[in-house]
Amino acid sequence: MNETLETILNHKSIRKFKDIPLTGEQLNTIIASAQQASTSSYMMAYSIIGVTDETKKAQLAEITGQSYVKDNGHLMIFCADLHRHTLHATEDQYEEMVENLENSEHFLVAAIDAALAAQNAAIAAESMGLGICYIGSIRNQLNKVDEILDLPKHVLPLFGMVFGTPDAEPDKKPRLPKEAVYFENTYQKDHKEKLAAFDETIAAYYAGRQTNNRSDSWTDQMLRRFTKPIRMDVTGIVKKKGFNKQ
């Protein structure tokens, strides 16, 4: 197995970091790695905001409810960005392009471009011995995050990522069995029994892990997640920011 596969297959999200900021060289390597990811039709439809301002970090930590959003080696916010693509347009051209720019196709393009860049950043960081964690909980108060970062129309914060020198060694979290995720030629609509088998795996994991052990299963966790409305305001904010409108 090569080093890259080892890095990828040993991924664990890190939520506790030593008080060591990333070096400029580490940061540059991570950003260059993010930028080299594939991008839909060369659109490069994302931006990254590195947050170093302590006040902003504290505000974001409060929104997310996660102290490691403040205490880390570096914090980045990944944004969908279609603003850049309007900068060279005349007023007439802008009028001509806006409906197309604001459709679901380009919302998808921007979200996917940002995610591909982010995952390259994650792997690059991990290959250098750093730990990372994605921060989806910036979407708890997306309006506020948008304000804190002072983003123009057509730039939408999607998720954050924290980086740093790991100060914890969590267990590796199991994944669904391959047979529940990968299908050949035709999707298997009822794969309930594969999920039931996974429930046993994950129950054992939750019962046995070093910290925060509990009695739970994956299907229960998902039922709880989806029967409790979450972030119902994201739809409106996304549209207000000029994405996903038609």
Is residue 52 part of the contact set for a second copy (CB under 8 A)?
Answer: yes
Contact yes or no for 77/145 (Cβ under 8 A)? yes
Q: Smallest gap, in angstroms, from Cβ of residue 19 to a second copy?
A: 20
Q: Smallest gap, in angstroms, from Cβ of residue 212 to a second copy?
A: 13
Q: Smallest gap, in angstroms, from Cβ of residue 90 to a second copy?
A: 9
3-state secondary structure 105-169: HHHHHHHHHHHHHHHHHHHHHHHCCCEEEEEHHHHHHHHHHHHHHCCCCCEEEEEEEEEECECCC
Work out the angle between the directed axes of helices 218-227 and 192-208 (0-180°, nearest 10). Answer: 100
Is residue 67 part of the contact set for a second copy (CB under 8 A)?
Answer: no
Q: Smallest gap, in angstroms, from Cβ of residue 144 to a second copy?
A: 15
| Alpha-carbon separation of residue 95 from 50, 91, 102, 138, 164 (angstroms) | 32, 6, 12, 32, 44
| Alpha-carbon separation of residue 26 from 122, 125, 172, 200, 224 (angstroms) | 12, 8, 25, 40, 39
Q: Smallest gap, in angstroms, from Cβ of residue 20 to a second copy?
A: 19
Is residue 91 part of the contact set for a second copy (CB under 8 A)?
Answer: no
Q: Kindly identify the residues of this chain, within the stretch 157-186, that bind a second copy according to CB under 8 A.
A: 158-159, 173, 175-176, 178, 180-186
Is residue 70 part of the contact set for a second copy (CB under 8 A)?
Answer: no
Among 91, 210, 214, 232, interactor with a second copy by CB under 8 A: 232
Is residue 69 part of the contact set for a second copy (CB under 8 A)?
Answer: no
Among 24, 65, 91, 187, interactor with a second copy by CB under 8 A: 187
Calculate the dihedral angle through the C-alpha atoms of 188, 190, 192, 197, rounding to the nearest 10 degrees.
Answer: -30
How far is 103 from 153, CA to CA, in rounded Å? 14
Q: Which stretch binds a second copy (CB under 8 A): 16-24, 59-67, 163-171, 218-226?
A: 218-226
Q: Which stretch binds a second copy (CB under 8 A): 16-24, 43-51, 65-73, 162-170?
A: 43-51
Among 62, 108, 144, 209, interactor with a second copy by CB under 8 A: 108
